Amino acid sequence: MSEPGKLLVSLENGIKRITINRPERRNAVDHETIALLAAAFREAAEDESRVIILTGAGEAFCAGADLVVTGAGDIANFDVTASLRERTNPTILAMRSMPKPVIARVRGAAVGLGCNYALACDMIVASADAVFSQAFVKIGLMPDGGGTFFLPRLIGYARAFEMMATGDLIDASEAFSIGMINRVVAPEELDATVDALAARLARGPAIALARVKAGLNHGLRADLADALDYEAVNQDPCFHSADFLEGVTAFLEKRKPAFTGK
């Protein structure tokens, strides 16, 4: 039987909040929740939202995949490759390809797949009580959910290997110091910080922000000449947007711009 409200989705003032709602399981995701996440991000890419916040209900962000296998027979008959390709990977790809900023609001545990959901976001804001772990190895697995792609690009090969080979927890302070996350705030300041950041991005020039995200993703696999050409081509829709004209006008008039995303 399906659990009610495994994923909560709201949209207000251009900010879409996607909340994994399984606090009794520290927001570990089962197959249904993973599918719901993929659908939510596909919808967010096309709707009127301008910023997405991904978070978890209660005291945890996401404790990873909810282990549903109960015995050797279940493991032997489960096609994990198909499951990752059909359920997990589309969510990660949707998060990275959507032309809108995605902020991870992390409190408590971001472990295993939960850690990699956070890494797939464009920014990570964590409370001081947050912990991160690539815990897969502790149950005899390698990371999935894009961890082997995201983590070494953020913190370098050696640190990424250590996290993945040991499965050890690191706290938010250490994650910040090694460049894994953007900000660490007191738990009581987490919501205000994330909401203010989301509101700021929602007021920003949507066309330019979409090209910033696309350009950074492209730059991860491009050489300098290719990156320069990508910038040259993608600057054109920004340059001819109403937001650019508004930005220049506001600058000359010494006021804050009022971007419309057009």
> How many angstroms separate the CA atoms of 88 and 31, rounded?
9
The set of residues, in sequence order, having a beta carbon less than 8 Å from that of 254 and lying 6+ positions away, is none
> How many angstroms separate the CA atoms of 18 and 236, rounded?
32
Reported as a single tens digit per residue, the pLDDT across 200-245 is 999 999 999 999 999 999 999 999 999 999 999 999 999 999 999 9
Contact 148, 125 (CB under 8 A): no
What mean pLDDT is predicted for residues 126-153? 97
Contact 234, 214 (CB under 8 A): yes
Amino acid 134: pLDDT: 98
pTM of the model: 0.93
Reported as a single tens digit per residue, the pLDDT across 38-63 is 999 999 999 999 999 999 999 999 99
DSSP alpha helices (H): ranges in 108-205?
113-120, 147-155, 157-166, 172-177, 190-202
Amino acid 10: pLDDT: 97
Decide whether 7-202 matches 206-252 in CATH topology: no
Domain range 7-202, its CATH number among 3.90.226.10, 3.30.70.1560, 1.20.1560.10, 1.25.40.10? 3.90.226.10
113, amino acid identity:
L
Amino acid 78: pLDDT: 85
Burial of 24 (C-beta count, 10 Å sphere; 0-12/13-18/19+): exposed
- Which value, in Å, is the radius of gyration of the alpha carbons in the chain? 19
Two structure tokens written together for 70: 């109960």
Domain ranges of the chain: 7-202, 206-252
DSSP H/E element including 207: helix 206-219
Q: Compute the half-sphere exposure of residue 145: CA atoms within 13 Å on the CB side of its CA.
A: 25
* Mean per-residue pLDDT over the chain, rounded: 94
Amino acid 14: pLDDT: 96
Per-residue pLDDT at 21 exceeds 60 = yes
Domain 206-252 has CATH 3.40.50: no
Reported as a single tens digit per residue, the pLDDT across 151-197 is 999 999 999 999 999 999 999 999 999 999 999 999 999 999 999 99
68, amino acid identity:
V
pLDDT band at 1 (very low <50, low <70, confident <90, very high): very low
Amino acid 81: pLDDT: 94
Amino acid 250: pLDDT: 93
The set of residues, in sequence order, having a beta carbon less than 8 Å from that of 65 and lying 6+ positions away, is 28, 29, 30, 34, 112, 113
Residue with tokens 């927001």: 27
Per-residue pLDDT at 69 exceeds 70 = no
Two structure tokens written together for 100: 């809108």
pLDDT above 90: percentage of residues in the chain: 92
What mean pLDDT is predicted for residues 80-104? 95
DSSP alpha helices (H): ranges in 10-146?
31-46, 72-77, 80-83, 89-97, 113-120
Q: In terms of pLDDT, which residue wins out, 123 or 76?
A: 123
